[in-house]
Chain A
Amino acid sequence: MKDFEIQDIEVDLLVEALYRRHGYDFRNYARASLKRRVADLAPAFGCATVSELIPRVLHDPELGRQIVPKLSVPVTDMFRDPPVFLSLRRRVLPLLASYPRLNIWQAGCASGEEVYSLAILLREEGLSERAHIYATDINDVALARAEEGVFPLRLLKDFSTNYLKAGGQHSLSHYYHAQYDHARLDPSLRENITFARHNLASDGVFCEAHLILCRNVLIYFDHVLQNRALRLFHDSLVRQGFMCLGNRESLQFSEVVEDFAVTDHEHRIFRKRLLGEPTP
């Protein structure tokens, strides 16, 4: 047997141990990138191999909580892919403006940069009074950072450029205070955001959403888990609700491709199809 095949067994065993001992389910994550992250875990916990880490996963009640943030990838930016936010501003929010109350679910919010981007968008489009954003993730460390709303100042230059490209009506500095080397976002942006832990691999519907943003999360899932998450989004959306995926994610290889209409192909914005609505 080749070394890489032995490492594959180690990954399987570790994932099984994490699931059965700690309840975190990574069994249906896309394997190739998961394998790289699992391989990085061993040295991070002072182990020579992944196998050496397994007894600790089984016998240390705290280890699950420590490992999950290292297996999740909380990489994000404010207004990442600005044209997507411009499209949400121009094509989606005007249609949502007819609802008296709005729920928006951002799944996989990482450290919150996109949530605040959305909150700014809603304010500028005059919808923040009636909108509520649910921002969820499995990574507690990232969620805590998101709730704080404080980001390193050096990142704000790129964020500001993105904001303007996304059709921003002011300068981004309108929404934050610089303190030493960090930027504290205007706390009032947080008033209509709820941060919560929610696992797309194991948890269910928790709100009726008018818009779901889940960008760059499905790439971490295999076919089975991707379909589970997409069904969950479908079940959570109101009639003709909107869903926005990452720039390189599509429904093409999923089971729900017929259940959504394409609103903006380039920016991966979809709309829940009405029952009986003809497919293209």
Chain B
Amino acid sequence: MTGGPWDAVVMGCSAGGLEVLRAILPRLPTGFPLPVVVVAHTSADTGNLLAELLDHCCALPVAVAEDKAPMNGGAIHVAPPGYHLLIERDLTFALSLDAKVCNVRPAIDVLFVSAAEAFSGRLIGVLLTGANEDGRAGLASIKALGGLTIAQDPDTAVAETMPRSAIDAGVVDHVLAPSAIAGFLLANANSR
């Protein structure tokens, strides 16, 4: 329905993100073919907490992305708190402590831009609830390279600034409620 095939899903969220991730990720069944990479704005000292929380409620394995590790289809990779997460051209993960972007590290923009380039646009970008404008530029890169872009419906978001700013910038293909996002990903992931 919307092009593809797609090789990965990248997802970003900030304020209110945990609840939304819990509404989306557990609905991805074992065997979901694509790697899913998540950046959530959390404070630097939260360690592996987010990955552990998600791992408890998801069918897919959830782990913190390690530097130089390959990304796996059918697994959820979470950015380590305090580090930017990037994807290299050989589709391995890279971390950095470079300056904050949009006042945050990890920044959604940093993941999305590097992923858009590494996958040459063959990916799906999902921008969820959040109170700043991180992610808009990243979603724009994904769209410019031919990727598929989704924003959470701002009316369903705890903080609407993040999805709203991407929608206003004209870089969003589909505006969806959290309850519809997993189904949408499944339909598009399997169309390859």
Q: Which residues of A contact B (CB under 8 A)?
A: 2, 4, 30-33, 36-37, 73, 75, 216, 218-220, 223, 226, 247-250, 252-253
Task: Verify if B175 is at the interface (C-beta below 8 Å from A).
Answer: no
Q: How far is the CB of B17 from chain A (nearest CB, A)?
A: 21
* Bound complex: CA A220 to CA B116 (Å): 20
Q: How far is the CB of A55 from chain B (nearest CB, A)?
A: 26
Contact of B66 among A2, A37, A226, A252 (CB under 8 A): A252
Contact of B97 among A4, A36, A219, A253 (CB under 8 A): A219
State whether A32 touches B88 (Cβ < 8 A): yes
Chain A hits for B187, CB < 8 A: none
Q: Which residues of B contact A (CB under 8 A)?
A: 64, 66-69, 80, 83-84, 86-89, 92, 94-99, 110, 114, 116-118, 120, 145
Contact of B120 among A2, A33, A250 (CB under 8 A): A2
A-B contact pairs, 7 of them (CB 8 A): A2-B145, A30-B96, A36-B110, A248-B64, A248-B83, A250-B68, A252-B66
Chain A hits for B92, CB < 8 A: 253
Chain A hits for B98, CB < 8 A: 33, 36-37, 73, 75
Contact of A248 among B87, B89, B95 (CB under 8 A): B95
Chain B hits for A223, CB < 8 A: 68
Chain B hits for A37, CB < 8 A: 98
Chain B hits for A247, CB < 8 A: 80
State whether A253 touches B68 (Cβ < 8 A): yes
* Bound complex: CA A75 to CA B82 (Å): 12
Chain A hits for B83, CB < 8 A: 219, 248
State whether B96 touches A73 (Cβ < 8 A): yes
Contact of A32 among B66, B97, B118 (CB under 8 A): B118
State whether B118 touches A75 (Cβ < 8 A): no
* Bound complex: CA A247 to CA B80 (Å): 10
Top 3 closest A-B pairs, CB basis? A32-B86, A33-B96, A253-B68
State whether B110 touches A216 (Cβ < 8 A): no
Instruction: Name the residue of chain A whose CB is nearest to the CB of B101.
Output: A36
State whether A33 touches B94 (Cβ < 8 A): yes
Contact of A218 among B67, B84, B86, B118 (CB under 8 A): B67
Q: How far is the CB of A196 from chain B (nearest CB, A)?
A: 22
Between B68, B87, B89, the greatest number of chain A beta carbons within 10 A of the residue's beta carbon is seen for B68
State whether B97 touches A30 (Cβ < 8 A): no
Chain B hits for A36, CB < 8 A: 98, 110
State whether A32 touches B67 (Cβ < 8 A): no
* Bound complex: CA A221 to CA B118 (Å): 18
Chain A hits for B67, CB < 8 A: 218-219, 248-250
Contact of A31 among B89, B110, B145 (CB under 8 A): B89
Chain A hits for B97, CB < 8 A: 73, 75, 216, 219
Q: How far is the CB of B25 from chain A (nearest CB, A)?
A: 22
Q: How far is the CB of A230 from chain B (nearest CB, A)?
A: 12
* Bound complex: CA A220 to CA B110 (Å): 15
Q: How far is the CB of B70 from chain A (nearest CB, A)?
A: 9
Chain B hits for A4, CB < 8 A: 116-117, 145
Q: How far is the CB of B4 from chain A (nearest CB, A)?
A: 18
State whether B94 touches A32 (Cβ < 8 A): yes
Chain A hits for B96, CB < 8 A: 30, 33, 73, 219-220
Q: How far is the CB of A113 from chain B (nearest CB, A)?
A: 13
Q: How far is the CB of A4 from chain B (nearest CB, A)?
A: 5
